[in-house]
Amino acid sequence: MSASLRRVVRLAAAFSIAGFKAKDQRSVLGFLWSLLNPLLLSVMLFAVFRESLGRGQTGADYFLYVFAGAVVWNFFVMATTVGSASLLVRAELLRNVAFPAEVPVYGDLGALTLQYLVELVALFAAALLLGARPSWTLALLPLVVLGQLAFACGIALVLACFCVVARDLQHVWAMVTRALFFATPVFYSADLAPPALRRWFVWNPVGGAMEATRALCRGGMPAPSDLVVPLAAGLSTLLAGWLVFRAAAPAIIEKA
Amino acid sequence: MDEVIRLRGVCKRFRLRTHRASLFGALRSALGGGASTRPLLALEDVSFSIGRGEKVGVIGGNGSGKSTLLRLVAGIFQPTTGEVAVAGRAAGILQAGAGMHRDLSAADNAQLVGALLDLSRAEVRRKLPEMLAFAGLESFAHAPLRDFSFGMIQRLAFSLLRAAAPEVLLLDELLSGADEAFGHKAAAELAAAGDQTLLFASHDLGLVRRLCTRTLLLQHGRLVAFGPTGEVLARAAALSA
């Protein structure tokens, strides 16, 4: 590993640890908020759609389906939204200390990944309680998380540098994620979507990661496309995001 | 004497926004209806060199280009034209508190800023008691930074820089909020660091006189004098009279 890459990794780790420690410092429930957010979304979606979209599944199965969807979706939205503001909120730091400008994005995503891992533990604990029996296929989970993290990081890198120039992009991204929420099988099964749309679902990396996580929760083997598409899309998005960021970085620091 | 910092014909130009960002303004600029920014020449044709171990002051009025100069030497900004060469590791905290987190303790902030200054976690852990003792903050190790005064944050930042001991140290008014006793202690530390090259931007001309053997005087982005501190301070006084 080159010295500059080692420095980026060390700094990103320091930012991640600091961000994770600072996150809920002044709240009463503290760390529990990490779990409450996806849990409350799951309970809400379960209560509203159980009768219509959860037909044909037991209550426990549908709750687990929605909980897994909410946890995976929550990570994607949080990572891209927080990542998009990473440079804006550290403008002072960027203008006063020399360090690679992409580090705050990696640091914020690192802190969110730590939180996500806790949420995944809660999800798999819930799966056990609800009668699911995870198997050796759980060993594939790091691959699924890696694909999600890389995909979110690639998007966050691009958003972070353009948000410095035009903050409007944060509003645009909020609208995009709202639309994507309904285009991703968070609370409904992909089988319920119109056939014309269904064939596009396989190319949705967040949806793929969601399906893979659900399969792993139940102890099953994810469909190959649910493993390969999120990982390939994630790594290529990360590479593209990194290239865009490196090209824009010198101008960004002066505009921050 | 080895040359540690060298600037040759350095210009730095920024684009300043001429009016508030708006959709109308963006559309007007896109359609060629007038630029929404104007150029600002922060530094113009600046050349000088500094040898190893020299303590050099940077003085000038507000907006004269002092902070821009330090940011160029730190590698935060790139020159628009010209060349900036620095031999060795240049580090500084050009604004006390930059990089620190208000909700984290002094010990956690030491880890965060220590990483920015290239100190490993183990080094920070090992040096932390001495750092806090130097800053007079031993009893504040686990207090959140939001309970610190500005002067306490400056003391912590200075102690971290002292522990990192970069070959080229860049300070921008770092000691302005600290009390007199700490100012004297810090100045003595800086003067005693024989091999360390110091570039110190300040409005505190007394401190510059005490600490720096040579001084740069900037005015409207131009280097108008560079020489022995006494002579440059006299020139600055003559210019402002």
pLDDT in tens, chain B (241 residues): 689 999 999 999 988 776 666 556 666 666 666 666 788 899 999 999 999 999 999 999 999 999 999 999 999 999 999 999 999 889 886 777 888 999 999 999 999 999 999 999 999 999 999 999 999 999 999 999 999 998 899 899 999 999 999 999 999 876 777 788 888 888 888 888 878 999 999 998 988 998 999 999 999 999 999 999 999 999 999 988 7
Give CA separation, B19 vs A169, B26, B36, B97, B177, in Å: 20, 11, 7, 30, 34
In this complex, the residue of A21, A92, A95 whose CB is nearest that of residue B104 is A21
Q: Would the CB atoms of B76 and A17 count as touching at under 8 Å?
A: no
Q: Which residues of A touch B91 (CB under 8 A)?
A: 98
The CA distance from A70 to A39, in Å, is 8
Lowest mean pLDDT, pick from A31-40, A195-204, B14-23? B14-23
Instruction: Quick: pLDDT tens for A88-134.
Output: 999 888 988 889 999 999 999 999 999 999 999 999 999 999 988 87
Residue A216 has pLDDT above 90, yes or no: yes
Q: Would the CB atoms of A18 and B99 count as touching at under 8 Å?
A: no
pLDDT, chain A, mean: 90
Give me the pLDDT at residue A192, please.
Answer: 83
Q: For residue A55, give the 3-state DSSP assignment.
A: coil
**Cα B174-B180-B182 angle, rounded to 5 deg:** 65
The CA R_g of chain B, rounded to the nearest whole Å, is 20
Chain A nearest-CA residue for B17: A255
Give me the pLDDT at residue B28, please.
Answer: 66
What are A34's two structure tokens? 């990490």
Residue A29 has pLDDT above 90, yes or no: no
In this complex, the residue of A99, A166, A254 whose CB is nearest that of residue B116 is A99
Three-state SS string over chain B comes to CCEEEEEEEEEEEEEEECCCCCHHHHHHHHCCCCCCEEEEEEEEEEEEEEECCCEEEEECCCCCCHHHHHHHHHCCCCCCEEEEEECCCEEEECCCCCCCCCCCEHHHHHHHHHHHCCCCHHHHHHHHHHHHHHHCCHHHCCCEHHHCCHHHHHHHHHHHHHHHCCCEEEEECCCCCCCHHHHHHHHHHHHHCCCCEEEEECCCHHHHHHHCCEEEEEECCEEEEEEEHHHHHHHHHHHHC
- d(CA B143, nearest CA chain A) in Å: 12
Average pLDDT rounded to a whole number, residues A168-175? 92
A with B: how many residue pairs have Cβ under 8 Å apart?
Answer: 66
Does the predicted interface ipTM exceed a cut of 0.85?
Answer: no
Q: Would the CB atoms of A98 and B108 count as touching at under 8 Å?
A: no
Which residue in B72, B58, B102, B91 sits closest to B161, CA to CA?
A: B91
The model's confidence at residue A57, banded by pLDDT at 50, 70 and 90, is confident
Give me the pLDDT at residue B35, please.
Answer: 61
Q: Would the CB atoms of B90 and A97 count as touching at under 8 Å?
A: no
Asked if B184 contacts B105 with a C-beta cutoff of 8 angstroms, the reply is no
Which positions in chain B have a beta carbon within 8 angstroms of at least one beta carbon in chain A? 14, 21, 26, 71, 74-78, 90-91, 93-95, 98-99, 101, 103-104, 108-109, 111-112, 114-116, 118, 120-121, 144
Q: Would the CB atoms of B95 and A92 count as touching at under 8 Å?
A: yes
In this complex, the residue of A25, A96, A97 whose CB is nearest that of residue B103 is A25
Q: Would the CB atoms of A253 and B101 count as touching at under 8 Å?
A: no
- d(CA A127, nearest CA chain B) in Å: 35
Give me the pLDDT at residue B193, please.
Answer: 82
Give me the pLDDT at residue A121, please.
Answer: 93
Give me the pLDDT at residue B23, please.
Answer: 58
pTM across the whole model: 0.86
Chain A nearest-CA residue for B171: A96
